[in-house]
Structure 1
């Protein structure tokens, strides 16, 4: 199984800075989470390479998954053809996070180990992780 992740890097010297990682083994999730926790790292878009496209003609994905690590918390949002847009039901003390056009409400951050476990499950199943609790939110 394979997850591809890409993210922007905030850099005054290069407004188009970014990075990415392809994860094929569960141990690669730890590297991904570590890299997302680096300073100036933005929101990562993830896609699972083994999922079918929603529209084979355009290649449009059947899922939209984003994740971030900020203020010591991991954030994850998920939507697919079977699930409405949801974020993790996390630590009530986790702050809200606004990155680009994605809003994670307060209480949707989890300890980084929980995020890593959810991402390992996504890697192995290609489905929304069930080992974590979700709450539906308005994606706007």
Structure 2
């Protein structure tokens, strides 16, 4: 089931991505990360974005000495699962297969990704063959 967290702006999503890669860390560390990318944000701008992420439930902070360290509250995989489930609910009436088929038919899968998908499907097929509770 999709999470009920509010949607993110593109900028908030960029900050969340930085938290996945560099967190937990203080605002100053994230500021350096964005400066290295050519984004010359003010400290207060980044602090505001982190406060929004915290308010929306995507990040949390913990005091460490005199600084606050920020970290994401969910993994990239959990975020992706939530967003794709919400998309399937909104566009495909809760059915994920049209979404999955559209991704596969888009032809942007590497050989390794195809192999991972094949292994997942094999695993799901095997799980389906096992007796479920109440099947006896």
TM-score (norm 1): 0.24
- Between structure 1 and structure 2, the one with the greater Rg is 2
* Larger RCO, structures 1/2 (Cα 8 Å, 6+ apart): 2
